[in-house]
């Protein structure tokens, strides 16, 4: 059973992971794996991805967004 506390921990982890990806500390394969395991999808994931726009490499951001769209996560 997943609790609200567990979901919040996963959400926080993914926020840091997105920031690390845009800062060059993670590669795309790693962040895609993190997103896949998080089970965060749709509007919630879109909001998280948009929240890091402009906080790192713009090309990486666009690549990540396209990949999420291709996988049907957004």
Confidence band (pLDDT; 50, 70, 90) for 1?
low
Q: What predicted TM-score, i.e. pTM, was given to this entire model?
A: 0.90
- 23: CB partners within 8 A, 6+ apart: 56, 57
Q: Where in the chain does DSSP place strands (E)?
A: none
How does pLDDT run across 27-59, given as a tens digit for each residue?
999 999 999 999 999 999 999 999 999 999 999
- Please give the Cα distance from 60 to 7 (Å, whole number): 26
Residues 74/65, Cβ–Cβ less than 8 Å? yes
- Please give the Cα distance from 9 to 38 (Å, whole number): 10
């Amino acid at each position: 059973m997943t609790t609200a506390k567990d979901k919040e921990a996963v959400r926080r982890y993914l926020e840091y992971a997105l920031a690390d990806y845009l800062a060059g500390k993670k590669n795309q394969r790693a962040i895609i794996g993190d997103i896949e395991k998080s089970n965060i999808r749709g509007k919630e994931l879109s909001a998280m991805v948009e929240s890091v726009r402009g906080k790192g490499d713009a090309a990486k951001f666009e690549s990540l967004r396209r990949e999420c769209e291709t996988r049907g996560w957004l």
